A and B are shown apart, each in its own frame.
Chain A
Amino acid sequence: MTVATAVAHEGTAGHAEHTHYTSTGLEHRKIAVWAFIGSECMLFASLISTYLIYKGRSVVGPFPHEACNPPICATPLKPIRNIPVTSVSTFVLLMSSLSMVLALAAVENKGKPGYEGILGSSKLWLLVTALLGTTFLGFQAYEFTSFVHEGLTIRTNLFGSSFFTLTGFHGAHVTAGVLWLLTLLAIDIKRGLGPKDALLVDISALYWHFVDVVWIAIFTLVYLIK
């Protein structure tokens, strides 16, 4: 894009002071977020590979899907997975993605017919998304605590090390996402988020959905496949 067309483009947008174009004509913050998400794909690929390589190589229990009996374990240990609880937390995270797209739609369409009511409120959907994310973290805290009570810590065996590292990293990402959402909610309460702020919500939504798709992979590879 030439300088002339870039200037014309900014003029058309009508809010050049808010938009930071690259030579592609695209917003650099959105390009940065997509590049960040791309790099995060490779981070989680390394963690997932590590988990899968170590899977089945632990010499002491507890194990994820199999019981551990003497002499391998001093006392009989049942399989440690709690699929019903994890299924509910997976559903919670999936629904948080729905509320996130509704928050973005509410910001983009603020002031338009049909978005005046409570269901068109960006504050409501941002709050719902943050609450669902917090609920997911609550489930994860419950799972980690119950695993520790059943004798599995990050130092117990290869399964414990790789499992807590992988899911812990994901949980840290969810925590960062919840803080990001709460920050947006605070801005929304203070001055209101409108169409001019759509990009701010869009990039946080991209991050949040990415956290969701990572969990989709983890749920299948780590929890369901025996």
Chain B
Amino acid sequence: MADHEFTHTNPDIDVHAMGEMHEHPTWKQYKWVALVLTVITVGEVWGYYIPSFVASAAFVPTLLLMSAVKFAIVVLFYMHLRYDHRLFKALFTGPLIIAISTIIALLLVFGKFVGR
């Protein structure tokens, strides 16, 4: 497959109804996204096997950051949220913010951050 633009010039696709505001990524971009996701995953697993890194204070924040980057890449490029209507962005990010806040609040309530 060549590096085609994944545009919706086909009149059978109603881009407005699908909420797409811009063109989708190209095949080349999809390949790069997959490569970046793989590299980050390899980095996470590699870090897991370095005892000095695991023992350091940077271990958990680094893993959380890498995971957040992977999460964002998939959502923005593969789920096309970067190109979608703002209503879809709100429908996803609103509950996501509530979900993350709930996790943090519950961990605080149950004293999971005490002594760290």
Question: Which residues does A use to contact B, with CB under 8 Å?
Answer: 9, 12-15, 19, 21, 24-27, 30-31, 34-35, 37-39, 41-42, 44-46, 48-49, 52-53, 83, 87, 90-91, 94-95, 97-98, 100-102, 105, 108-109, 111-112, 114-115, 117, 119-120, 194-196, 198-199, 202, 205-206, 209-210, 212-213, 216-217, 219-221, 224-226
B35-48 interface mask toward A, CB cutoff 8 Å, 1 = contact, 0 = none?
00110010011011
Q: Residues of B at under 8 Å CB distance from A?
A: 1-2, 4, 6, 8, 10-14, 16-19, 24-25, 27, 30-31, 33-34, 37-38, 41, 44-45, 47-48, 54, 59-60, 63-64, 66-67, 70-71, 74-75, 78-79, 85, 87-88, 91-92, 94-96, 98-100, 102-103, 106-107, 110, 112
- A86's closest neighbor in chain B, by CB? B45
Residue of A nearest to B69 (CB): A216
Q: How many interface contacts (CB-CB < 8 Å) are there between A and B?
A: 179
| B103 neighbours in A (Cβ, 8 Å) | 45, 48-49, 52
For B18, give its contact among A30, A37, A44, A91 (CB under 8 Å): A30
Q: A26-B85, A42-B98, A42-B99 are in contact. Are A198 and B112 (CB under 8 A)?
A: no
User: In the complex, what's the smallest C-beta–C-beta distance from A216 to chain B, in angstroms?
Assistant: 5
Task: Establish whether residues A34 and B92, one from each chain, have CB atoms under 8 Å apart when the complex forms.
Answer: yes
A49 near B107: Cβ-Cβ < 8 Å = yes
5 A-B pairs, CB-CB below 8 angstroms? A49-B106, A98-B33, A98-B34, A198-B13, A216-B74
- Given A38-B92, A83-B48, A220-B67, A27:B30 Cβ within 8 A: no
> CB-CB < 8 A to B19: which residues of A?
26-27, 30
Measured in the bound complex, the distance between the Cα atoms of B99 and A217 in whole Å is 12
For the complex, what is the distance from the CA of A52 to the CA of B64, rounded to whole Å?
Answer: 14
- Least Cβ–Cβ distance between B8 and chain A, in angstroms: 6
Residues of chain B within 8 A (CB-CB) of A19 are 14, 17
Report whether A225 and B106 are in contact in the complex, using a CB–CB cutoff of 8 Å: no
Query: Looking across the interface, which residue of chain B has its beta carbon closest to that of A98?
Result: B34
Having A49-B103, A91-B41, one finds 17 other A-B pairs with CB under 8 Å, namely: A12-B14, A15-B12, A26-B18, A30-B19, A31-B87, A34-B87, A34-B88, A39-B95, A42-B98, A53-B106, A94-B38, A97-B78, A98-B34, A108-B8, A112-B4, A216-B67, A220-B63
